[in-house]
Amino acid sequence: MSTVIRLQWGLSSQLGILGKTPPKQQLHRKWLLSVIFLDFSDWTGLLSVLWKAVKTLLHMSLFFLQELWLEYLELYSSQSSREELNEICDQAVEFSPTYSVWWKYLEYSRTYIDKRNVCIRLISFLTLNPIDPVELRSHFILETLLYLVQLELYSGHYASAVLVFKSA
């Protein structure tokens, strides 16, 4: 089975896939507009390339890392066990601590305990790290709190749901 992955131009040029890198003033416009497709016939090779990209681009902007981690997690999730995926998600939120990566971690969590723990860690992350604009940060915190309350309710932990809601 063949898999196609897309990498934006700026990211792929950093990996040396396209060769010549354009001047910096053109980089942002180009990577937003251009998409390349790489064809991989095996998952191991694909995950290997993405892992090398993640390690190589640790110094890049959070946006590049976020997109790369989200792509990597998407592919890795279909090929791994729950424990392996949790370990990789922990690494993802360590190296690319963005709301989108945290939320993807929450989506991949399968049990009540895992989801609850990720929600609590995400709320802690959001309250300790400034995000501009403040309204966006407030929205993220509220969304995560409501998700946690809903999780508690659907799991039959009514007292915990009330406690979470009151403590917010």
Question: Higher-confidence residue: 62 or 125?
Answer: 125
pLDDT bin (cut points 50, 70, 90) of residue 36 is very low
Q: Using one digit for the tens of pLDDT, what is the confidence trace for 148-163?
A: 999 999 999 999 999 9
Confidence of residue 132 (pLDDT cuts 50, 70, 90): confident
The CA-based angle 51-100-131, given to 5 degrees, is 120
Question: Distance between CA 87 and CA 4 in Å, rounded?
Answer: 25
pLDDT at 48: 72
pTM greater than 0.75: no
The answer to whether the Cα torsion of 17, 30, 43, 53 is positive or negative is positive
pLDDT of residue 99: 94
Q: How far is Cα 64 from Cα 93, in angstroms, rounded to an integer?
A: 14
Q: For residue 27, give every residue at least 6 positions away whose Cβ sits within 8 Å of its Cβ, in sequence order, or none.
A: 10, 13, 21
The answer on pLDDT for 65 being more than 80 is no
Choose among 65, 73, 79: nearest CA to 103: 73
